[in-house]
Structure 1
């Protein structure tokens, strides 16, 4: 039952977008800390890396589960649960330097990524038709905006304050977000029927853990190690069994028949590749500018400077999200996604020839970030064109999951390239410039393939009458 009408759509959007940015910041918050955390926690570097891995795993597992729960039991209710999980995780990380406690806290924080698809679905259900497309565009882009601002913010905190401070800040902001949601955001009356698919949830979780753990840890464990190979085999065995069960279920966690529709399938595959291309930009830029000058191309920048290099990209993402919405309304979300992925491809072409100058590096990274904002903003509109209105949270959760998988694969490939294509100069072993160029080529090709996949998406036809704004955008695609 709707608590109150969404009388102030801008306020609803502002509250939900602030939630999205905060949980996105959580994903990259510890990245600048990783070199220092072994000493701070009296742990091995390999063990500390679990602070990133567990967040990725928790986000991948809980995003589709909470999305489906939101469709069934109330999106605002589940949104608050996800935010509470982030607050609990922040508290654990704020009060302890013990690695197991920190890992548990990061797992709770990772589960909160479901806030973004839940927010998108709330906006679709509650806002006036003329506000739907620009609002979901902004909400979708918060994943990129938060990640882009997270690393610079974390570097400043690490440099000038106790590292626990950033978790205390996030805890307070999380509590404020929960209060704002309770005061401003209405509960949607739209619900899907049936019982929650527990076996499907367990099967999907097992598959994702096997796959993402192998991808995330393969570089450290060895790609041919028994643990890595065993996890890949486990994922390969689980997925067909899970798929067969879901096809027989009357109320599946993931409707595979809907997911196999070209409009959904190609959009999700494009999301995976765009997630890869986006994350490569962040990972490579932050490390590239810190390389020593003895490499012949490195700038020997500080950790703060490396973080600030990503800040213009974050600003570009904020500015380009509303532009993306205007393009979607005039030309359709498919055209918008092609434009965004094409801009990312162009950005990586620029990066191939400008990797030895700080200003040019920032410019190239900003072009990629702008393309990411345009692409991310178009994805939920394409998904919502193709799925029933009662499945929007689950469908957007799956799309967000595909972006997460793309980022996980990207991280593994970037680490593998930068640790194997190296040279030693002046007693320092570091990646060569060729290693970074390989990363840019791979990321650029991913963006280019995303363009091709987007062109294969059929024009949307069946749009819910309650959202003529989406229907109008669909007809122009």
Structure 2
């Protein structure tokens, strides 16, 4: 019997990709909207600046811990079910922010919103399970790019609300969008029949949470407290001990939270290394660009742009990510995802070369930031395809959750490293320490160097080109089936 064409497909099937993509964009917007508020939150909440910074740190910590956990839960109990719960927690957190000005409530709410970090890996796994091979590549590329698209859209939109309306309005808006997203996923997305049954690894979950919290607290707070402070050194030491014990426990667990034997395979492990390095290189672009264009004109290089204008500088990068995600899928189909990943990392490095060449003219700043965004699209779109082709079908959500976790750790380290460089290279302007242009150029050079390291890591991933007459997705399914058979044997 002939398969129904695109027009004959039920409306729900045709809306699966747009609904999942909108969920990824909403997640990224939710993470970004608080950024324009940070300078004013101490006045609005009566809390100190260091306390207010936890509105970012809490989301980062919760997302890092929950992403692999919810990915594993999705493989076990149903990906749509866990995806809906993640979006619902994000929406509840947004409602809490809309109703309160108490800093304790706001931090707790932002931690709830961190659950949404699992939206992208869960959605990618659903796409693998539900879509035919010929549609899968472009859909996965678009889904992976939603992180950058949402971040680029969220900043100017949030800045407009902050500038022209009460700041609670922003969270009421995201609450309404979140509720709509939950309803749309429940209506348009089918529950995946692919499951990986077993008992949930509670001990492994607690161990991973403790290790990641220690690591990310040390990285995020080291710049403020001093890298040689006893508390930071103690956190790093605790990280090493806890994660070593967690690794030992995972290797002996019957149904581990993270299959470390799978992670240590070169095709999977090197993909995670490349994700960490790419996350570092990508995140520096947003951090540095926003500060650079808002610097006072008295510095000699600053443009003293408003928050809204700053957000608009990053908007072309978001549009570029949307437009280039189909190109990434085509390159991966023709040359393989590892080549796409290496190309993306190289383009990121070229973008930072543009930033180093000229960071005074606005059009060159926007051009450099857009080139970095283009490379990020290629790299981020290739990473989940590499993972999908390297792991069994029943472990796609948890494996992609680990990959997103590595990006998150890369972003956290990038934030700390960029802050350390800019603080070290500052000079007073009007009595206030402001980073020098040399400091910004060093940050660009550091991020570009890491991007080149990501390119090298991508090229060392074992090649896995599909045979003639087979699509990359077909080849990946065959390999996943073969791996599962070998493991059962």
Tell me the TM-score normalised to structure 2 length: 0.93
Q: Deviations over 1:202-238 (max 9, x none)?
A: 0000000000011011111211112211111100111
Instruction: Check whether the contact 1:71–1:393 (CA below 8 A) recurs between aligned residues.
Output: yes
Counterpart of 2:384 (choices 380, 394, 400) is 380
Equivalent residue runs for 1:169-184 within 5 Å? 169-184=173-188
Residue 202 of structure 1 pairs with residue 200 of structure 2: no
Structure 1 position 31, deviation (Å): 1.0
Counterpart of 1:227 (choices 231, 249, 269) is 231
Residue 417 of structure 1 pairs with residue 424 of structure 2: no
Question: RMSD across aligned C-alpha pairs, in angstroms?
Answer: 1.9
Name the structure 1 match of 2:6. none
3-state secondary structure, aligned to 1:434? helix
Instruction: Check whether the contact 1:9–1:127 (CA below 8 A) recurs between aligned residues.
Output: no
Structure 1 position 300, deviation (Å): 1.1
Instruction: Check whether the contact 1:354–1:360 (CA below 8 A) recurs between aligned residues.
Output: yes
Q: Deviations over 1:71-113 (max 9, x none)?
A: 0000000001101100110010000010000001100111111
Tell me the TM-score normalised to structure 1 length: 0.96
Name the structure 2 match of 1:156. 160
Counterpart of 2:433 (choices 410, 422, 429) is 429
Instruction: Check whether the contact 1:83–1:174 (CA below 8 A) recurs between aligned residues.
Output: yes
For residues 115 and 410 of structure 1, what CA distance do their matches in structure 2 show? 23
Instruction: Check whether the contact 1:386–1:460 (CA below 8 A) recurs between aligned residues.
Output: no
Instruction: Check whether the contact 1:6–1:185 (CA below 8 A) recurs between aligned residues.
Output: no
Residue 68 of structure 1 pairs with residue 55 of structure 2: no
Q: Deviations over 1:339-388 (max 9, x none)?
A: 11111010000100110111110110000001101110010000111111
Residue 192 of structure 1 pairs with residue 196 of structure 2: yes
Name the structure 2 match of 1:113. 117
Greater CA drift, 454-463 or 326-335: 454-463
Instruction: Check whether the contact 1:386–1:462 (CA below 8 A) recurs between aligned residues.
Output: no
Number of equivalent positions: 470
Structure 1 position 426, deviation (Å): 4.4
Name the structure 2 match of 1:300. 304
Q: Deviations over 1:246-294 (max 9, x none)?
A: 0011111001010001111111111111111111000100110011111
3-state secondary structure, aligned to 2:258? coil
Instruction: Check whether the contact 2:24–2:119 (CA below 8 A) recurs between aligned residues.
Output: yes
For residues 333 and 28 of structure 2, what CA distance do their matches in structure 1 show? 26
Structure 2 alignment gaps of length 5 or more: 1-8, 480-489
Instruction: Check whether the contact 1:6–1:127 (CA below 8 A) recurs between aligned residues.
Output: no
For residues 476 and 73 of structure 2, what CA distance do their matches in structure 1 show? 30
Name the structure 2 match of 1:336. 340
Instruction: Check whether the contact 1:65–1:201 (CA below 8 A) recurs between aligned residues.
Output: yes
Residue 27 of structure 1 pairs with residue 10 of structure 2: no
For residues 363 and 461 of structure 1, what CA distance do their matches in structure 2 show? 34
Instruction: Check whether the contact 1:77–1:187 (CA below 8 A) recurs between aligned residues.
Output: yes
Instruction: Check whether the contact 2:389–2:476 (CA below 8 A) recurs between aligned residues.
Output: no
Instruction: Check whether the contact 2:86–2:116 (CA below 8 A) recurs between aligned residues.
Output: yes
Structure 1 alignment gaps of length 5 or more: none
Runs of 4 or more, structure 1, over 6 Å off, are: 472-475
Instruction: Check whether the contact 2:137–2:329 (CA below 8 A) recurs between aligned residues.
Output: yes
For residues 47 and 94 of structure 2, what CA distance do their matches in structure 1 show? 20
Structure 1 position 429, deviation (Å): 2.4
Residue 248 of structure 1 pairs with residue 257 of structure 2: no
For residues 446 and 26 of structure 1, what CA distance do their matches in structure 2 show? 27
Greater CA drift, 217-226 or 264-273: 217-226
3-state secondary structure, aligned to 1:186? coil
For residues 210 and 425 of structure 1, what CA distance do their matches in structure 2 show? 36
For residues 154 and 308 of structure 2, what CA distance do their matches in structure 1 show? 12
